[in-house]
Amino acid sequence: MENRSDTSAWRKFIASFGYAFEGIWYGLRTQRNLRIHVVIAGIAVLLSFLLRLSLAEFALILLTIALVIAAELVNTSIECCIDLVSPEHHPLAKRAKDSAAGAVLVCALLAVIIGCLLFGPRLWNLMIQQRVF
């Protein structure tokens, strides 16, 4: 027979997934940049299949997508916390928000570089074969 505390712990564990999905949904509803990242991620996944990336290359694409989306969600949470504790303009609040946005930018630039390294040569070869140039 299952202990009551085990059942309660299991329910809390399951509920934590619900809270996480609520956070993702909030980000998608309210953050234009997150929606842009998700669209670009979809294009990257589609290109991965069309260009027949290896399993390791596809894993790198997925890891990069997760990094950018996670950074955007952390940025959103930082902005929400800053707005809660400092609704008026404050130089330190601005620094915190700018730094969080900078972290997202670093991740997004890395994603672009990885995308160019993985997709670039294949797309170039495809254009050469199709005599685009």
pLDDT in tens, 35-92: 999 999 999 999 999 999 999 999 999 999 999 999 999 999 999 999 999 999 999 9
Q: What is the pTM of this model?
A: 0.88
Q: Which residues contribute to the annotated binding site?
A: 19, 72, 79, 88-90, 97-98
* Residue 88 DSSP class: S
The CATH fold assigned to 33-129 is Helix Hairpins (1.10.287)
| Catalytic (active site) residue 22 | no
pLDDT in tens, 95-125: 999 999 999 999 999 999 999 999 999 999 9
d(CA 55, CA 59): 6
Residue of 71, 65, 73, 55 whose CA lies nearest to 111: 65
Please tell me which residue in 2, 22, 57, 72 is annotated as part of the active site: 72
